[in-house]
């Protein structure tokens, strides 16, 4: 408890993956010495007290008490995973969360020497049209050309080129956005790569949202939405290399199966450690992507649905209805 009290932590839900665990953030929270809670407000976490009925002594365990009274707990905390406290939600009225596993992750910044690159997925047919405006948006966020990597899939043969300071990998691997995740760790060195599509638009605050992430654990994957929709998010180099044989096998996957693997969270489920990128406007809590209007964004006669990823200030334009998925 001495290591916990008075220090900010990321309060989150722990969910199990096939190969590890995912933390879905709820908000930033600090337990103050007198039992007060600061930095986060919810009736479930009105205050905290020592907890003496668990497997360990009261000096090493605590309970969150609901704001409605001073004795009914909403969760009890008697375990830890390394130096990460683990609790269980116990407030029966909120049935969806009852007995759910919770955590307090030390609020730690990434090491200053962490290398983050921005990985743009594109294709041979459209990259000359779609990539330049996206590059200008990334430049406006203060992201230099040396930190941007572009993978152009569906080429006759593989090659590397540098165009106006930006590294391009022209790849014979042809698997939509999966090709970018396959090629990136083979072509470049980095700690994390943020995957974004050439059919995306980024807005002010994008870079800050991506780079101000919790660095307490060496994460495999930090998705931009809880189920890693559209594959947007940060991937560690080590994780992509571990998944490289499977990513290689996606070569020439059709769009239907490519989307099926994506929305099933296939890559997310392979992670050993994952943390959803939180939204600063929700005090660091997780936020799902939302669909908005249909618009012919590229003025090509092919309507697309705008999908907003608010946690990272990014909008992605997806094919709509019966639109030809191989057309811009």
What's the CA gap between 267 and 263, in Å, rounded? 10
- The average confidence (pLDDT) of the chain is 93
| Position 95 confidence tier, pLDDT thresholds 50, 70, 90 | low
Read off the pTM: 0.93
- For the cut 90, the answer to whether the pLDDT of residue 325 exceeds it is no
Q: What pLDDT, in 10s, does the model give residues 138-182?
A: 999 999 999 999 999 999 999 999 999 999 999 999 999 999 999
In angstroms, the CA 294 to CA 195 distance is: 23
Question: Count H helices, E strands: the chain?
Answer: 7, 20
Are the C-beta atoms of 258 and 176 separated by less than 8 Å? yes
Which tens digits make up the pLDDT trace of 187-241? 999 999 999 999 999 999 999 999 999 999 999 999 999 999 899 999 999 999 9
| pLDDT at residue 9 tops 70 | yes
pLDDT band at 58 (very low <50, low <70, confident <90, very high): confident
Tokens of residue 69, six digits: 């009274």
**Does residue 271 surpass a pLDDT of 70?**
yes
Span 283-308, pLDDT tens digits? 889 999 998 888 887 777 788 888 99
| The predicted structure's pLDDT at residue 268 | 97
* Strand, coil or helix: 244: helix
Q: Does residue 116 contact residue 211 with C-beta atoms inside 8 Å?
A: yes
Q: Write out the H or E segment, with its range, that includes residue 319.
A: strand 314-319
Answer yes or no: are the C-beta atoms of 5 and 59 closer than 8 Å.
no
The lowest-confidence range among 5-19, 25-39, 277-291 is 277-291
Q: Is the pLDDT of residue 320 over 90?
A: no
User: Are the CB atoms for 217 and 150 separated by under 8 Å?
Assistant: no
The two structure tokens encoding residue 75? 């969760």
Lowest model confidence (mean pLDDT) among 2-16, 93-107, 122-136: 93-107
Per the CB < 8 A criterion, the answer to whether 248 and 171 are in contact is no
């Amino acid at each position: 408890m001495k290591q916990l009290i008075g220090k900010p932590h990321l309060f989150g839900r722990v969910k199990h993956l096939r190969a590890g665990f995912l933390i879905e953030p709820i908000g930033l929270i600090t337990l103050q010495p007198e039992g007060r809670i600061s930095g986060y407000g919810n009736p479930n976490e009105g205050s905290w007290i020592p907890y003496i009925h668990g497997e360990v002594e009261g000096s090493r365990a605590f309970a969150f008490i609901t704001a409605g009274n001073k004795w009914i707990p909403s969760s009890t905390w008697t375990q830890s995973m390394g130096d990460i406290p683990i609790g269980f939600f116990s407030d029966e009225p909120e049935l969806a969360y009852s007995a759910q596993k919770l955590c307090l992750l030390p609020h730690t910044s990434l090491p200053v020497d962490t290398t983050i690159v921005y990985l743009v997925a594109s294709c041979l047919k459209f990259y000359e049209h779609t990539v330049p405006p996206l590059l200008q948006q990334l430049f406006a966020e203060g992201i230099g050309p040396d930190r941007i990597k572009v993978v152009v899939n569906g080429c006759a043969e593989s090659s590397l080129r540098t165009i106006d300071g930006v590294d391009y990998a022209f790849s014979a691997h042809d698997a939509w956005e999966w090709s970018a995740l396959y090629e990136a760790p083979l072509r470049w060195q980095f700690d994390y790569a943020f995957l974004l599509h050439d059919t995306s638009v980024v807005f002010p605050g994008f870079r800050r949202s991506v780079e101000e992430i919790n660095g307490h654990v060496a994460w495999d994957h930090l998705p931009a939405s809880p189920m890693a929709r559209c594959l947007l998010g940060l991937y560690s180099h080590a994780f992509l290399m571990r998944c490289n044989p499977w990513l290689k096998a996606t070569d020439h996957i059709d769009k239907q199966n490519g989307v099926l693997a994506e929305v099933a969270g296939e890559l997310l489920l392979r992670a050993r450690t994952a943390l959803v990128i939180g939204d600063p406007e929700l005090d660091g809590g997780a936020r799902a992507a939302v669909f908005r209007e249909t618009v012919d964004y590229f003025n090509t006669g092919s309507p697309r649905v705008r999908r907003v990823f608010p946690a990272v200030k990014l909008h992605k334009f997806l094919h709509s209805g019966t639109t030809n998925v191989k057309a811009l």
